[in-house]
Amino acid sequence: MSKTHAYPVLIVDDEKIIAAIIQRILEPENIKTEYAQDGEQALLKIRQAEIPYSLVISDQKMPGMTGDVLLEKATLILPDTPRFLMSGYSDLSAVIRAINNGAINRFISKPLDNQAFVRAVLDAVTQFEADIEAKRLFEEAKTQNLKLFELYKELKQETQMFDKILEGLDAEIAEETDKMDALKNADLKNKNTLDHIEQTMKNKNILTQKNLTGFAAQIKEEIYIQFQDIAVRNGLTMPGQS
């Protein structure tokens, strides 16, 4: 079964029977067709169409407006729609002029070779539909890329904010570490001073070995209480009393 084509083909011919023959030839290919009897009606249909035509097929010799002139005007309205010019006359000058002006994509001679004509129409319609789909996908991709870019900016802002928070925490941790080191150094210095006092008192016989232990314990207790007070004020916890 042939593919159903979404975009119609416009047939322009002052001989309605010719247009009917073309419609009948294309019907098995599931191509919807519309008919205009002259150039003016064709241009009106092109301007008022809700969806673009996938192909415009026009006869050359028509009263009022010839096919090449019609297709030149149609190009300005539907530049992406392919255009076929049909003629049973040897008016080569008009055909050459239309080709040079980009008005027609293909010349179809009369009488029609049905198989060749159908192949040409299918090729043109299929290419038009592929181009339309490619443009749709491109626009969709642009929209998605814009959304991704906006998301990237939001994530970048969140990351920068998180980095600032981490920097603040690192600074607080470094400050607290310095405080702990200071307390440790002070405690070590105090211990060294206490040992020095003990040794001095021993050397001068101020304390006997018997009461030295009790005196040292009293001094250590008082110093511990002082440093514990300093630690509490700095939000730290002193280790248990030895």
Each residue's pLDDT tens digit, 80-107: 999 999 987 666 777 777 777 777 889 8
What pLDDT does 203 receive?
54
* Average model confidence (pLDDT) across the chain: 79
- How high is the pLDDT of residue 99? 77
47-67 pLDDT, tens digit per residue, is 999 999 999 999 998 999 999
- Residue 32 backbone class (left: φ over 0; alpha: ψ -120 to 50; beta: rest): beta
Domains detected in the chain: 9-112 (3.40.50.2300)
- Residue 138 has what pLDDT? 86
pTM above 0.75, yes or no: no
Q: For residues 209-221, give the mean pLDDT.
A: 55
